[in-house]
Amino acid sequence: MFPRRAPGHRLATAAVALGLLCSLNTSAWAGARDPAHGSARITRVPSAAGSETPLSGFAIRSTADVGDSAAAVSSPGYPAKGWYPAGPRSTVLAALLADGVYDDPFVSTNLQKIPKSLFQVPWWYRSDFTVADPAHRTYLDFSGVISAADVYVNGRQVATTADVTGAYTRHELDVTSLVKDGTNTVAFRIQPNNPNKNLTMGWLDWLQPPPDQNMGIVRDVLVRRGGPVALRDAHVVTKLAVPSLETADLTVKAQARNDSDAPVTAEVSGTVAGVTLTRSVELAAHQTRTVTFAPTDTPGLHLTSPKVWWPAGMGGQPLYDLDLTASVGGTASDTAHESFGIRDVRAPLNSDGARQYSINGRRLLIKGGGWSPDEFLRWDRAYVEDRLKYAVDLGLNAIRLEGHIEPDEFFDLADRLGVLTLPGWECCDKWEGQTNPGESGEKWTAADYRVAQASMAAEAARLRDHPSVASFLIGSDAAPDATIEKNYLDALDAADWTVPVVPAASDKSTPQLGSSGMKMTGPYDWVPPGYWYAKREGGATGFNSETSAGPDIPTLDTLRRMMTPAELDTLWKNPDAKQYHRSPSATFGTLKVYDAALTGRYGAPKSLTDYVRKAQLAQYENVRAQYEAYERHQTDASKPSTGVVYWMFNSGWTSLHWQLMDRYLDQGGAYFGAKKANEPLHVQYSYDDRSVAVVNNRHTPVSGLTARATLFNPDGTQKYDRTVTGVSVQGDGAHSTALALPASVSGLASTYLARLTLTDADGREVSRNVYWLSTRSDTLDWAKTDWWHTPTTGYADLTGLSSMAQVPVTATASTTEADGMSTTTVTVRNTGTGKTPSLLTDVHLVDANGRPVLPVRWSDNAVSLWPGESATLTATYRTADLHGSSPQVRVSGWNALDRTVPAGAPEPSVPLSSR
């Protein structure tokens, strides 16, 4: 997109692929107003060539409340009294919430009370910055404008809404001629957002949408300084030798652009992976040339024994650096820096037409979750890092971003933590308006095609060097048509995109790319655990891009934070009631299907506490079964499973719907069910054929294993026991069937427990898994399957669990602290004198007031203990999250007598060298 030139100065825009040159400065803006006139804090911009300084914040105000001209508003010294402070990346509503204008929108129906009319007019965003040397060139570099903006600098318009439109388009405005020594002002007049009309970001059915529809600026606005020659679009194309991994070729590219009126000779020099680069480039006035360093002219770029990047659990996550400088006459004019990783990602279709990912020559099952940003797009690096660490803790290897593509730091964290990412465009609004007639997005205009292509170019340039990025989905529920596909592919090719491009997340195809190799067959609401083993619909075959058994009721601690007592009363008493915290969708507005299953299988809830504890059992068994089924089928000769994305990994607000952990990062049955299923070496029960399988997610084969299966009635009476020795299993997701449980066992109750254990050749227990099962199976009505679930006509009988006697579980705990992190070690023991086990015993770390300490990563949790058995668990967390309190451990569970014990104040750990 190319803005019109304002009279008297030169204006350059790049909404096409610029290099990933954004600063990673995440310094927070305090949100204070200047006491003199209420404006945002002034940003001091250095003169250093290549400096990239994000504006530190904005002052914002509705145009309905501002009668002054655009020239006045965008001029230094404008008295912005009464304007609201906003951070450097902020929607309008995020700023109002930070300023205390509205009550916590995550509680009850507070969000509903915020008037939408406030956001139907444009809002001003203004910020001041200072420069000491206006002779240096100055540029504004930004993306993340929702939905469009007129841009002004020092009273002059430098871009219009026709130029700056779309959340993902990137813009560089040369404002050198307007910038003066001292204070300068940039102002954006932001237009209202409508996701059905604009190629921006929207929400569908997993939270109540924000009243402002996220209008604002949600990525940094950078002030860039430099000399006559600018370096842009710097990146590294890597080619790894597969399968040997013994060599890798690097190709370095950058654009050298002469922004002066005279010809110049630029020296482009730098280093990459320890290799020195240097090149002399002659540039005519305003000429741009691509500077390329390749192994053919720079032999050092042919690496031997390269450091290869792997997803977590498969290897390390080494990164390389590229640093370039463009100099003119011996003086630095601009610099560029990139981090990148060396890896090879492929995703061909297998013989069944399913997309099969491999990395560095090793096939892998994609085990992922659907990502949600904060509903108000508030960026919090620590909070994002905590969630990505949860993904690693759960044994997941991928996160899918359906639209809402996060800022640069998200992908930096994913690179460092080893989490693959599957970004792509979102469904059902303007992004698919041209190709998805069943949804509400408007048809595209000629301008929309240009915005979409510019968006693809900008995101490709931003993401291509991140080793965590495993592909890009150019469609979601629908696939692009031939014209849109060509535009996207042209943009990707121009950006040197090297990882797979997928036509859609659903079973669709495009003219050039062909079949997606994906399925989007649901379910999205409750189905029984056995559903996942069927090789049909959403069951464990192929690549299911988004699926789960629907609701995920959070812990009682979280429920009491997010809902009123009256709402909580309705939650467990009235399945037909609309639940504001579930979904705005008519399909998912109530918990009727879920509650019917909970009552049909476990018995009607007797209280809120009883409802929540039954929910945790139900979510544990269902999430575990979903991942276990896909894991067991991944190496099948016929119709193997190749990928599954739990819908969703998290929620952007306080939700009853689609989440493995809640908004506050508390963990319940869904979380620990996923963690159990995805352990590296795993013993599991198969709902379809009663087999006991061992799945090895490690690379190395394992032998000499012993598998044991024991069946118990709910009172703990043993009814069956079998041990199989000499079990072996290949690596990379292979499974081995150790035994099959009999179809009937004498004296077995209609509800029973199955305890599975796996020990290694040295007798150490390496996996333990406990199931609650029924002699009566769940019955599915496959003929009435729809897009969101398959109805259940008969339920398994798990009501016998209610007859389990309460048992005492003791706990002892101690805590150590080092480098700001605390570790609490807890030993829990079933001290009952009878036979009854403690089922799904939960250990929560709490402060002195009984509030959960979050986030926390447990070595294990939700454990089941037979009398005399114990388990030692560790919890790791930030000491600061205790807020000065001493930690405590709260033990509860299905039938454990609740108790809370002290865990000791954090004590400094003793280094090994001092012992």
Catalytic positions, please? Answer: 477, 546
Query: Can you point out the beta strands (E) in 330-377?
Result: 331-340, 345-346, 358-359, 362-363, 366-370
Secondary structure of residue 693 in the 3-state scheme:
strand
Q: How far apart are CA 876 and CA 823, in angstroms?
A: 5
Beta-strand runs (E) in 329-462: 331-340, 345-346, 358-359, 362-363, 366-370, 398-402, 420-424
Distance CA 743, CA 718 (A): 16
**Mapped to the 3 state alphabet, what secondary structure does 555-613 carry?**
CHHHHHHHCCHHHHHHHHHCCCCCCCCCCCCCCCCCCHHHHHHHHHHHCCCCCHHHHHH
Measured CA distances, 549 to 203, 655, 821 (Å) = 20, 15, 35
Report the DSSP pairing between strands 366-370 and 641-646: parallel
Q: What are phi and psi of 398, to 5 degrees?
A: -150, 155
803 vs 438, 455, 597, 796, 809, CA distance in Å?
49, 59, 19, 16, 18
Tokens describing residue 234: 């710097």
- Within 13 Å, how many C-alpha atoms sit on residue 599's CB side? 14
Report helix, strand or coil for 112. helix
Whole-Å CA distances, 601 to 222, 769, 788: 57, 21, 21
Q: Which amino acid is it at 736?
A: S
Q: Which residue carries 């929607």 as its tokens?
A: 91
Retrieve residue 705's tokens: 């294993």
Can you say whether residue 223 is alpha, beta or left, with left for phi > 0 and alpha for psi between -120 and 50 degrees? beta
Of the candidates 151, 155, 190, 153, the residue with the CA atom closest to the CA atom of residue 171? 151
Contact 895, 838 (CB under 8 A): yes
CA distance 247 to 259: 39
Side chain identity, residue 140? L
**Which DSSP letter does residue 782 get?**
G
The type of residue at 830 is N
Are the beta carbons of 167 and 81 closer than 8 angstroms? no
CA 163/CA 150 separation, integer angstroms: 8
First to last CA, the chain: 65
Paired with 823 in beta bridges are 816, 876
User: Who's near 628: CB < 8 A, 6+ residues apart?
Assistant: 532, 677, 682, 684, 686, 695
Phi/psi of residue 698, nearest 5 degrees = -80, 165
Cα distance between residue 78 and residue 65, in whole Å: 15
Residue 378 is which amino acid? R
CB burial readout 851-881, b (16+ within 10 A) else e: ebbbbbbbeebbbbbbbeeebebebbbebeb
CB 674, CB 569: distance < 8 Å: no
128/153 Cα distance (integer angstroms): 10
Distance (Å, rounded) from C-alpha 145 to C-alpha 472? 22
